[in-house]
Chains A and B, each alone.
Chain A
Amino acid sequence: MTGRAAFGTPGGLAFDGVRVRYPRAARCALDGVSVAAPAGRVTAVAGPNGSGKSSLVRALLGRAPLLDGCITVGTAGGAAADARALDPAERARRVAVVPQREEPTFPLRVADYVALGRLPHAGRWGGPSRADRAAVRLALGEAGVADFAERMTDALSGGEWQRVRLARALAQDAPALVLDEPTTFLDVAHEMAVFELAARQAALGRAVLLVSHQLNLVARFADHLVLLHAGRVAAAGPPSAVMDGATLERVYGWPLVVTRDPAVGAPALVPLRRTGAASSRSLR
């Protein structure tokens, strides 16, 4: 699927032939990458460290130099527009992004933090509208953080904080949702909760783009998987097709096998140990 396929999709998000190169970098971080995230689907971008996953998100936010290509974001009504040409607030009304890292310097009440998601909808003056309050309440419930709405953000566990950040993005009430490495540092239960939440948002009709190195989880939750390698698309398609032993071994540079999880039937990557002479030779 190319980026163009999603141009007409209401609320879809599409990267088409995106090329990103940072100042003083020897090579392009992204070199002609196309990813389409249509509404109602979970689309995943995976790949090893340095494959360009996060540059995709930064390019969407206008924080990476785009040499070539186009990033379009749609509205619920169906009109798609170039993310670069849009007013940043209008872009934020169309696509909500949970960036990779965020450590609040000044703690906030969870409810106030989530209410910051209404920023792109707010005027310069005046308090929160009835719609703002409703969206915040809904987001707190959706992310399962309503119980600690009154706590401070510096008194949360890693898993709670991650869900609170998701709640802020949900409060933006945008037709597209982008999560950049949403489960780093989370244990199994919190990891699953985040992926389930993402899948539910897609079922509600949102376009969901997951950027993650958790290949096995992504393979279970994504409808469409794009595998990046050194700034290019190495494979794209349904996870069962992309999860191919030879492709993954080449991309990750490590011996591995792809099995089918006996319990749930999803393809799963199992990295192999390099043992004995082979390991000492390859590490030398």
Chain B
Amino acid sequence: MPRGYWAAGLALLAVAVVLGVAGGAVSLSPAAVLAALAGRGDAPTLAIVRDLRLPRVALAALVGVALGGSGAALQGVLRNAFAEPYLLGVSGGAAVGAVLAVAAGLTAPAVLPLAAFAGAIGAAALVLAVARAAGGGADVRLLVTAGVVVGAFANAGVMVALANAPADQVRGALWWMMGSVAGAGWRQVAWLAGYAALALGALVLWARDVDALALGEEPAAALGVDVERAARRVFVAASLLAAASVAAAGLVGFVGLVVPHLARAAGARSHRALVPAAALAGASLVVLADLAARTARAPLELPLGAVTALVGVPFFLARLRGARG
């Protein structure tokens, strides 16, 4: 892993953060942003930066960290370059868990990720069971098909759960189903940071097992890895990452698909480097995607999940073409 990657990645993230804080309904100059970040400037600018933009950018960055790390680990453990929490239906399951929790009145930023986590684990288990029953979890098409089917089922579940909800709540929930970091607060940021640090730390700790699992089940067993146990706990940590991001920002697809490829192309091969590298690239990607979401058609806001899908789907198709050739 070249050191240059980390330097370039951090530099890109710094630029993305400054641009992310600068852009929006009230446009600020980068100089004003830097001054405000250092605590200088007039009161309205400081309020916009500290209370509105910065938590939003921080939440977007953490969503990218969580989705990038989750995608990198899932791709390794499933030996599938198309694995990512959204396409696998894991995020959809998390959304069902979160919507049910909200319907039951459990909206605390600490509790929502746990409900989403339960939904994510359920969906992950279901997708793997469906793919295995259909002939093997290592098959790209089967796994993605199973993920899409479970994701569609999860979507339907959410719609049914919302049928009795008041109209404004439905609007809010739909917006959330399309992904958004609008209205982010520092409490949300802190909770997502906590869950992401916990799960990412676990994934980095288990990264060597993922290196072995990426070779296949028998080679991993030959290298002394307890295959079932190792795969299960990596899956749980990756699902927790996806669930925490869904609880904070709704469904944001394709980030976990795109950034591990970028990190690999930059030379990250072992998962000890790949998981953090994908997390770093994910942070920049989602911050920039959120900037596009609120500036492309300002003053209207586009759903964040729509922006990442507009980037991710062509990427997915290009990769699919490459994988066949």
Chain A residues, Cβ within 8 Å of B225: 88-89, 119
Bound together, the chains give a CA A119 to CA B219 distance in angstroms of 12
Bound together, the chains give a CA A100 to CA B214 distance in angstroms of 16
Known: A63-B221, A88-B221, A90-B224. A105 touches B208 (CB 8 A): no
What is the count of residue pairs linking A and B with beta-carbon distances less than 8 angstroms? 73
- Is A105 a contact of B214 with CB atoms below 8 Å? yes
Chain B residues, Cβ within 8 Å of A99: 216, 218-219, 221-222
User: What's the minimum C-beta distance from A137 to chain B, rounded to whole angstroms?
Assistant: 19
- Is A119 a contact of B211 with CB atoms below 8 Å? yes
- The residue in chain B whose Cβ has the minimal distance to the Cβ of A97 is B222
- For chain A, the bracket of interface size reads 20 to 34
- Is A116 a contact of B218 with CB atoms below 8 Å? no
- The residue in chain A whose Cβ has the minimal distance to the Cβ of B222 is A97
Complex interface bits, A63-92 against B, C-beta within 8 A gives 1, otherwise 0: 100000000000000000000000111111
- For chain B, the bracket of interface size reads 20 to 34
CB within 8 Å of B: which A204-240 residues:
none
Indicate whether B205 reaches chain A with its CB closer than 8 angstroms: yes
- The residue in chain A whose Cβ has the minimal distance to the Cβ of B224 is A92
A119 interface neighbour in B75, B208, B218, Cβ under 8 Å: B208
Bound together, the chains give a CA A119 to CA B214 distance in angstroms of 13
Going nearest first, the 5 A-B pairs with the smallest beta carbon separation are A92-B224, A120-B224, A89-B224, A99-B218, A97-B222
B residues within 8 Å of A by Cβ? 75-76, 79-81, 205, 208, 211-212, 214-219, 221-227, 264, 269-270
25 A-B pairs within 8 Å (CB atoms) are namely A61-B218, A61-B221, A61-B222, A63-B217, A88-B226, A90-B224, A96-B222, A99-B216, A99-B218, A99-B222, A102-B216, A102-B219, A104-B215, A105-B79, A106-B76, A106-B214, A108-B269, A109-B269, A112-B269, A116-B211, A119-B212, A119-B225, A120-B223, A124-B208, A169-B222
New contact pairs (16) apart from A61-B221, A108-B269, A119-B224, CB-CB < 8 Å: A61-B218, A63-B218, A63-B221, A63-B227, A87-B224, A88-B226, A90-B224, A99-B221, A99-B222, A102-B218, A104-B215, A106-B76, A106-B81, A112-B269, A119-B208, A119-B211
A residues within 8 Å of B by Cβ? 58, 61-63, 87-93, 96-106, 108-109, 112, 116-117, 119-120, 122, 124, 169, 172
